[in-house]
Amino acid sequence: MLFNARVQLLLLCLILTAQSRRQGSRKKRWSEPEQTLKPGRPPAWQFQPQYPSADGFTIPPLYKPKPSQSGLSGFIFNTSNMALGETPDAVFLVGKTRLENGMVNGPLSRKIVDGTKTRKLKTSHLLRVDEHDFTMRPAFAGPAVPVGVDVQVESLDSISEVDMDFTMTLYLRHYWKDERLAFPSATNKSMTFDGRLVKKIWVPDVFFVHSKRSFIHDTTTDNIMLRVFPDGHVLYSLRVTVTAACNMDFSRFPLDSQTCTLELESYAYTDEDLMLYWKSGDESLSTDDRISLSQFLIQKFHTTSRLAFYSSTGWYNRLYINFTLRRHIFFFLLQTYFPATLMVMLSWVSFWIDRRAVPARVSLGITTVLTMSTIITGVNASMPRVSYIKAVDIYLWVSFVFVFLSVLEYAAVNYLTTVRDGKDRKLRDKIREQSQTLPCTCGIPHTKTMMLDGMYNEADANSLAGYTRASMLAEDPSDKEEQMVVHLALDNESTETKKKGTRSFRFIQNTHTIDTYSRMIFPGAYILFNLIYWCVYC
Amino acid sequence: MRPGFGGSAIPVGIDVQVESIDSISEVNMDFTMTLYLRHYWKDERLSFPSRNNQSRTFDSRLVKKIWVPDVFFVHSKRSFIHDTTMENIMLRVYPDGNILYSVRVTVTALCSMDFSRFPLDTQNCSLELESYAYNENDLMLYWKNGNDSLRTDEIVLSQFFIEHFHASSGLAFYSSTGWYNRLFINFILRRHIFFFMLQTYFPTMLMVVLSWVSFWIDRRAVPARVSLGITTVLTMSTIITGVSSSMPQVSYVKAVDIYLWTSFLFVFLSVIEYAAVNYCTTLEEMRKMRRGKIPSTFNASQAMAFDGCYHDNDIELTPFPRMASTLASNPLTTQSQNSDLRPPEGTRLRRQRSVRENVDLLVNNSYMIDSYSRLAFPLSYLLFNTVYWSMYS
């Protein structure tokens, strides 16, 4: 019986030592003084700092430090209702201050423990990154992995006509499932990582087809987020600026609208390895409300998806982001159309100026031609060199033609005036020869000539010669006699020749008829052109 | 180490798909092209057992661990492999060790352009691929499918028309390193003339036509004709400057230069023509003043009234000199029977005129310069245009 008692005592001692060893080790870990615990609610400081291994990843602090009675400052990430002694999922403490019994919480008395020192963990690594070969895609040699894509467009930075491209900044999100990344979790909460994990695991290699330049923003660190859910679902988000080509059609410039697309595709994996799809259909594409461009109005953003075939590599899924832009016309109205119209109207002023003012009319015409030419050069400076005619070209060249024609009109007027002047002079001299025997009609005032033949002699008033008062005074009354005589001589001619002569004579005599008609024809034709143009293009 | 190290050369097939030609710059004499470059070779170290003979696809991270050919672009100025969102690299390994390695590259390469027929020119550019380290004994670069290895997406350039894409290969010798295989991607571009027609040729023609308007304006309108001539010269000069600003400064004359400078000469000559007309007119008046046709009280400045023209009711500048005998008693004009009055045009008395007499004829009838110019200038310009366009088209 004594033997049994000793055995039982030994067993009891063994059990007790085992218990105390366990409890002792726990006590070693928790070196803080004991605190009274509220039932069911572990104190904030009670968890030991646990850092993952050196080649792992750091978890960004998301929570502000909770003030606690012990003066402890630390971060608890992913708090859960843990019972005492249960190992937490991911916890680390930063800058913990330890208080000995009875110590006052002050800077001198604080002993800072290095929270970054790695300790041996009982549990294995969090994500077990090194156990798998992440150069292979999930479900390698199996079915295709479906990758959902979600895009939020932050801004459209610029649209360049000369380079025919556009620049866009967007948040690109990928969703897929990789079971190698699944981890046990009681609370089903996800873990978030930044760009440093990306190099270790597999991510889809989406690229932008037809992009000229693109980059992932890297200020202050790579703008990459990775969020891993306990069941292995992954959300991978990055912020990208991409400059992509957009074929623009300028035949209706500047009253045009352009449709541009941004195309996403996996570079390496074909349809059989990776299936790219829009996560929520058409709602996958969201835009900030504040997207606005100075020169364009964004009409529509929508998504499509298709398959693209490459003869050497196979079929790939391709996703499209399409948007339609309509150009604001106001700038071009102010910059191009309005000056061109003003120049044409200025050229019409020439028809109202006396046709004897030769330098005035010529310089007016020529300067408007020069200004139109400058406007045309200015517009083409900021445009690509396309091989078809643009709407603005049509307007500018027709206006140029109008201005040019006004110069030609004055050349015609001037030429015909000179011709008529020469004929006038010839006639006058002939009359002078013949009028030696005619009665003197000196003194008949100039105005009476109208009564003689019912036709105002405009030859006098409109001739190139003698408009100033001085030269009029210097005229001999015999001049007037000669002019009257011209009419008399004309009356003496045969009726037919007279009719013909007066008609053509009247036309040549009234060369300002061209001016009078031009005053109506030019504006009328230009207004008609404008009506047709704006109706066709609006 | 390359596959088959120490043994025979490894053949590497190349396949190119051109995605786009981004820009062709005359000023820098280069072009920018984006292409998918695919390499095919066999590396037995990478073979793996497989039941269904399917290939395995990897992205860029495997590339750093295995051997890949080091192809570079000769004469390239800048180039880069796109790396958004990951490096645009694909590696596909077949069970027997065949490898397909594909990259998306944008390269800016040099292209010597000849502008002697600009803008009616065609340019011949080429992109050259070569291995940097391995010469012909180690790496044989060849087009995988001959001329079909070169494929293009729909390439649309705004200013050019792509006539022809073809692939060729050759050997390049470097004196210090040996013979290398070089592959060429050649393409021929033809420029669209329309833009230059609208921007350069058409305004130039209009300016020349405008300068002819001056011949139809009365030659007594001095300021008008001079300002017309000068302003057309100014506009021509502006057009010339505008064209040269977007061109490299080459040392030979371009086709567009020939056209612009000849037109400039025409416009210039119309100004000179009016100077001659005006000079002859002045001389004519001097002579007539000396002969007494014009009263000595004639004041030229008074005659230039507000319109800047000579008011010459009394100055006889009409075509035919009058027979002096019939107009003896004109109170205003005195016809003097000058001995230097030549026989009128109508008479049959013709003899060889000496140079001095020709000049005299011209001076006395300065209208003739204008009349002849009205025909001569348009005709010669038309002739120049016919010759120019038939030569360059």
Chain segment A406-431, per-residue pLDDT in tens:
999 999 988 888 888 888 888 988 88
The Cα of B10 is separated from the nearest Cα of chain A by a number of Å equal to 21
Q: Which of A135, A269, A359 is nearest residue B221 as measured by Cβ atoms?
A: A359
At A119 the three-state DSSP class reads coil
Chain segment A186-213, per-residue pLDDT in tens:
888 888 888 888 888 889 999 999 999 9
At B18 the three-state DSSP class reads strand
Q: How many Cβ atoms from other residues are within 10 Å of residue B352's Cβ?
A: 5
Nearest chain B residue to A242, by CA: B84
**Selected residue with higher pLDDT from B334 and B208:** B208
Is residue A168 a contact partner of residue A153, using CB atoms and an 8 Å limit? yes
Q: Which of A15-24, A429-438, A467-476, B171-180 has the lowest mean pLDDT?
A: A467-476
**What integer pLDDT is reported at residue A20 of this predicted model?**
66
Looking at beta carbons, which residues of chain A come within 8 Å of B121? none
Nearest-10 Cα torsion for A511, A514, A517, A518: -140
**Selected residue with higher pLDDT from B33 and B302:** B33
Looking at beta carbons, which residues of chain B come within 8 Å of A367? 231
A451 contact B CB<8A: no
Q: Which two tokens mark A135?
A: 């150069």
- Looking at chain A, the number of H-run helices and the number of E-run strands are 11, 14
At B175 the three-state DSSP class reads coil
CA B239/CA B267 separation, integer angstroms: 13
Residue A398, classified by CB atoms within 10 Å of its CB into exposed (0-12), middle (13-18) or buried (19+), is middle
DSSP state of B146: G
Is residue A197 a contact partner of residue A135, using CB atoms and an 8 Å limit? no
Query: Between β-strands A145-160 and A165-177, what pairing exists: parallel, antiparallel or unpaired?
Result: antiparallel
Is residue A172 a contact partner of residue A278, using CB atoms and an 8 Å limit? no
Percent of chain B with pLDDT over 90: 43
Q: Which of A312, A358, A471 is nearest residue B307 as measured by Cβ atoms?
A: A358
Angle ∠(B223,B225,B227) on CA atoms, nearest 5: 65
3-class SS string, A270-335: CCCCEEEEECCHHHHEEECCCCCCCCEEEEEEEEEEEEEEECCCEEEEEEEEEEEEEECCHHHHHH
Chain segment A215-263, per-residue pLDDT in tens:
999 888 889 999 999 988 999 999 999 999 999 999 998 899 999 999 9
Q: Which of B84, B220, B318, B325 to mutate to test the interface with A (most CBs of A within 10 A)?
A: B84
Q: Which two tokens mark A459?
A: 């030859």
Nearest chain A residue to B321, by CA: A426
CA B296/CA B309 separation, integer angstroms: 19
Measured between alpha carbons, how far is residue A202 from residues A143, A197, A198, B289 in Å? 16, 10, 7, 104
CA B124/CA B114 separation, integer angstroms: 9
**Residue B76's pLDDT band (cuts 50, 70, 90):** very high
**H helices within B292-393, ranges in order?**
300-303, 355-364, 367-392
At B367 the three-state DSSP class reads helix
DSSP state of B307: T
Contact B313 A465 (CB under 8 A): yes
Q: Which two tokens mark B103?
A: 């990259």
Contact B232 A366 (CB under 8 A): yes
The yes-or-no verdict on residue A147 having pLDDT over 80 is yes
Contact B318 A425 (CB under 8 A): yes
Q: Which residue has the tokens 């008011």?
A: B311
Angle ∠(A377,A378,A384) on CA atoms, nearest 5: 85
CA A330/CA B55 separation, integer angstroms: 58
The Cα of A363 is separated from the nearest Cα of chain B by a number of Å equal to 6
A210 contact B CB<8A: yes
**What integer pLDDT is reported at residue A508 of this predicted model?**
46
Q: Which of A301-310, A464-473, B86-95 has the lowest mean pLDDT?
A: A464-473
Contact A363 B231 (CB under 8 A): yes
Q: Which of A169, A269, A309, A358 to mutate to test the interface with B (most CBs of B within 10 A)?
A: A358
Is residue B48 a contact partner of residue B14, using CB atoms and an 8 Å limit? no
**Model-level pTM?**
0.68
**What DSSP element (H or E) covers A512?**
helix A512-537
ipTM of the assembly? 0.72
The Cα of B321 is separated from the nearest Cα of chain A by a number of Å equal to 12
Chain segment A281-296, per-residue pLDDT in tens:
888 888 877 788 888 9
Chain segment B170-212, per-residue pLDDT in tens:
999 988 888 999 999 999 999 999 888 988 899 999 999 999 9
Contact A370 B194 (CB under 8 A): no
Residue B120, classified by CB atoms within 10 Å of its CB into exposed (0-12), middle (13-18) or buried (19+), is middle
Nearest chain B residue to A309, by CA: B153
**Selected residue with higher pLDDT from A155 and B393:** A155
Q: How many Cβ atoms from other residues are within 10 Å of residue B79's Cβ?
A: 14
Query: Between β-strands B160-174 and B71-74, what pairing exists: parallel, antiparallel or unpaired?
Result: unpaired
Chain segment B112-154, per-residue pLDDT in tens:
999 899 888 999 999 999 999 888 888 999 999 888 888 888 8
Looking at beta carbons, which residues of chain A come within 8 Å of B18? none
Contact A207 B332 (CB under 8 A): no
The yes-or-no verdict on residue B315 having pLDDT over 80 is no
The Cα of B85 is separated from the nearest Cα of chain A by a number of Å equal to 6
**Residue A499: CB partners within 8 Å, gap ≥ 6?**
none
DSSP state of A248: -
Longest CA–CA span in chain B (Å) reads 128
Per-residue exposure over A298-323, b if at least 16 CB sit within 10 Å of its own CB, e if not: eeebebeeeeeeeebbbebbbbbbeb
Chain segment B239-279, per-residue pLDDT in tens:
888 888 777 778 888 999 999 999 999 999 999 999 998 88
Concatenated DSSP letters of B43-112: -GGG----SS---EEE-GGGGGGS----EEEETEEEEEE--SBS--EEEEE-TTSEEEEEEEEEEEEE--
Q: How many Cβ atoms from other residues are within 10 Å of residue B1's Cβ?
A: 7
Pairs of CB atoms within 8 A across A/B:
218
Is residue B42 a contact partner of residue B94, using CB atoms and an 8 Å limit? no
Partner residues linked to B171 by β-bridges: B181
A361 contact B CB<8A: yes
Q: Which of B22, B83, B85, B151 to mutate to test the interface with A (most CBs of A within 10 A)?
A: B85
Q: Which two tokens mark A164?
A: 């025919």
CA nearest B218: which of A225, A448, A413?
Answer: A413
Window 217-236 of A, Cβ < 8 Å to B: none
